[in-house]
Each structure stands twice: as structure tokens, then as C-alpha cells.
């Protein structure tokens, strides 16, 4: 199911680029489905490695949150 969540995220972000407000609810719905599918992914891991799976999810999310806000990354994008 995490792969489906990633696909829902990708589709939602693609739909956010459209310049119409008529279909604005669809990307938000897909983003919610993506969040639910991806965050539940570690719960599907084997019981022995479930803690590591949640730790990996937290690591990926923290790097994904930090990277766009770091000045080394965003400085060249927004001079």
C-alpha cells in the first residue's frame, strides 16, 4: 500500500498545478489518501522490525522537511 500512497501523492501534486478551482477538492482528497497509506506502511512490517520501519519513516520525513528549508538548498533557487 505505500506504493499506492506515493502514487496518490504524485498525482495530487500534479493536479495542484492546474489553474482551475473546480477540481481543487480532488488533489486534497488524494493527498489525504497518500498520507494515510504511507504512514500506515511501517505497521505492515514484521513485528521484529516494526520499530526500525517507523524509525526509517521518521528519518525520511525529517530530512524531507529539513532539506527544502536549508539555506544551502534554497539559496540558489531563490537568489
Q: Is 78 a domain residue?
A: no
Domain count, the chain: 1
User: Which residues contact residue 68 at a Cβ distance below 8 angstroms, ignoring those fewer than 6 apart?
Assistant: 74
Assigned domain for 79 exists: no
The pLDDT tens digits of the residues spanning 6-33 come to 788 788 878 877 777 777 788 888 888 8
Mean pLDDT lowest among 30-39, 45-54, 63-72: 63-72
CA–CA distance, 10 with 8 (Å, rounded to integer): 5
Supply the pTM of this predicted model: 0.51
> 20: domain range?
2-73
Amino acid at each position: 500500500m505505500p506504493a499506492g500512497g506515493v502514487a496518490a501523492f504524485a498525482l495530487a501534486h500534479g493536479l495542484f498545478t492546474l489553474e482551475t478551482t473546480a477540481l481543487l477538492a480532488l488533489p486534497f482528497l488524494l493527498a489525504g489518501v497518500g498520507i494515510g497509506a504511507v504512514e500506515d506502511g511501517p505497521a505492515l512490517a514484521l513485528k521484529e522490525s516494526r520499530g526500525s520501519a517507523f524509525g526509517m519513516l521518521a528519518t525520511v520525513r525529517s530530512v524531507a522537511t529539513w532539506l527544502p528549508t536549508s539555506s544551502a538548498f534554497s539559496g540558489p533557487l531563490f537568489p
